[in-house]
Chain A
Amino acid sequence: MAPRLGHALLLLGLLCGLLPRVSAHRLEEVLQGALIRIEPDRIHLELDLTPAVATVHRLERDLNPNRDDLISDPEAAAFSRTVAQRLQLRVDGRSIALRRVHEAVPALDALRDGDGVVHLVFEAPLPRLEPGEHRLEWHNGYRPGPSVYLTHAVMPESPEVRIRHQERSRDQRRHRIRFSVSEATTDLRPGTPSSR
């Protein structure tokens, strides 16, 4: 290699090392955002999984086990059930099973291009909660790789439920919600917002 070219390459290499690392967005983690809505007779949980480009392959193992690059409806449903099994939900200390309601899974190409969110919807029916104070605890145990967790309660649709307090673990994998249920009423609040 000509000395000048070699020096240029060496300089370029040094410069690249000195350039600030540009991590303009999430490259190596799956963002898991959960929204929980509490109603007197059920818990509604929506979980959005946004895989970073470098982590799609980890989700693919669960989403497309037959590796045909096409996520079929049964595969999407199976994935949803797999995730549901990793989510632990307790209401007033009792374990409650989450069941899948709906999933929207983009094509693998979209996920690989970084333009895709896997949207999972779960529900857990409850025997109608008695008026009074209650607590919900849930743990997101789904970890396809390094993940960033967010969890939040959304406004209930029922005017009988009032969220009192939320507490999360620092990494937001665990979420505790204190809420109260009042007597059933026909006085419907107008324009009660819903989570979607």
Chain B
Amino acid sequence: MLWRFRICGPKLHLNAPMNSTTTSLLLLCAGLAWLPSTLGPAYAAETPAATAAAANARAVTAARAFLDTLDAPMRQAAVFAFRDEAQRQRWSNLPSGLYARKGLRLGDLKAPQRKAAMDLLAAALSPEGYQKVVGILEGDETLRGGGPGGRLIFGRDEYFVSFLGQPSTTEPWSLQFGGHHLALNLTWVGDRGTLAPSHTATQPARFTLDGKTVRPLGKETDLGFELINALDESARKKAILGAQFRDLVLGPGQEYRTLVPEGVPASSLTEPQQKLLLDLIHQWVGILPEAAAAARMAEIRATLNDTWFAWSGPTRPGSAAYFRIQGPAVFIELAPQNLGGDPTQHLHTIYRDPANEYGRKWWKP
């Protein structure tokens, strides 16, 4: 939203005679003209903090609307104390049947409740983030009936929603949403929001839904290949690690660890290559509403020179390759899962913020 101001009083000509009263009125109008309009739609002066606060407010409104659809026992099952560390770290890439989540299962909700839950996600995430989540859920839906046995349970019913703390525009609160191949941990403290840490994954990586091709992690892989292939030979050689990475190093459960950075430092990349790197990072950070994402990206940009990019595997687009981005304000991995099927169809990723996991520096545990 841009600043908007209104001129009060009649339009003045430059040669209009001025007396002290007129001057005072003009000065008053000029002063008032810079104030945000409070009439009609909210054209409030929107600083980044104000827009981020508005994003939190939208999420809070939608969260409360969802909670209002629940009876007391369901509300109790959905909302945990904000400082419940066990629940904070209760997330996984594993499907139901192998991992027991808490909170409310989408499959146990009535239709209006499920709609409210999806409305909450739409309000709490960016449009692209919401589409990614829907893509991951629909991808999991294709696994129903194709699993190796009755123990594993797939599908969009097996995603859980829960809260840490009460949704609030002033007090810290978190929204947890996840299931197989998805764990979003969205923490808000006033006008500051983070999704760190969160896990996105997909299998299959490409499928058709309503006649359209869906690739929930398509941009992540495409930009990764674009970046590695944009590097000159010397930089590419530094970026490529010799070993095979068959899984995430700091996946679910690997909290508060700092690896020694490897690969090529962003400080040695050209400006277009750095932009590509930032665009790639934005595929994770941008799951947040844009105002909150902008603040996180600013932190990452400020520490870009200390950020590294590493790669493992072939560089031909479409191959099964691993990459890692590591800096003071960001840690991302993408790892194809070589489990007997086509590893390019089964991708796991992790997004972390080494400086601020779960927004901890904002609420100081």
Contacts and interface: CB of A to CB of B under 8 A. Distances in A.
A153 B259 contact: yes
Interface string B13-51: 000000000000000000000000000000000000000
Contacts of A23: 148, 337, 339-341, 346
Contacts of B249: 33, 150, 152
B341 A115 contact: no
Given A23-B346, A115-B99, A196-B256, A31 B247 contact: yes
A129 B181 CA distance: 44
B203 interface: yes
Given A114-B99, A115-B99, A195 B148 contact: no
Nearest to A167: B242
Contacts of A48: 253-254
Choose among B152, B246, B260 the residue with the greatest number of A CB atoms under 10 Å from its CB.
B260
B81 interface: no
Interface in B246-293: 246-247, 249, 253-254, 256-260, 262
A30 to B, nearest CB: 12
Interface string B119-135: 00000000000000000
B146 A20 contact: yes
A165 to B, nearest CB: 9
Q: How large is the interface on B (under 10, 10 to 19, 20 to 34, 35 or more residues)?
A: 35 or more
B344 to A, nearest CB: 13
A136 B142 CA distance: 47
Contact of A25 (B98, B260, B354): B98
Contacts of B98: 25, 53, 113-115
Between A26, A117, A167, A169, the greatest number of chain B beta carbons within 10 A of the residue's beta carbon is seen for A26
Interface string A138-161: 000000000010101111000000
Interface string B211-249: 000000000000000000000000000000111111101
Contacts of B93: 25
B100 interface: yes
A170 interface: yes
A163 interface: yes
B258 A22 contact: no
A99 interface: no
Contact of B259 (A24, A154, A196): A154
Interface of A: 19-28, 31, 33, 35, 48, 53, 113-115, 117, 148, 150, 152-155, 163, 166-172, 193, 195-196
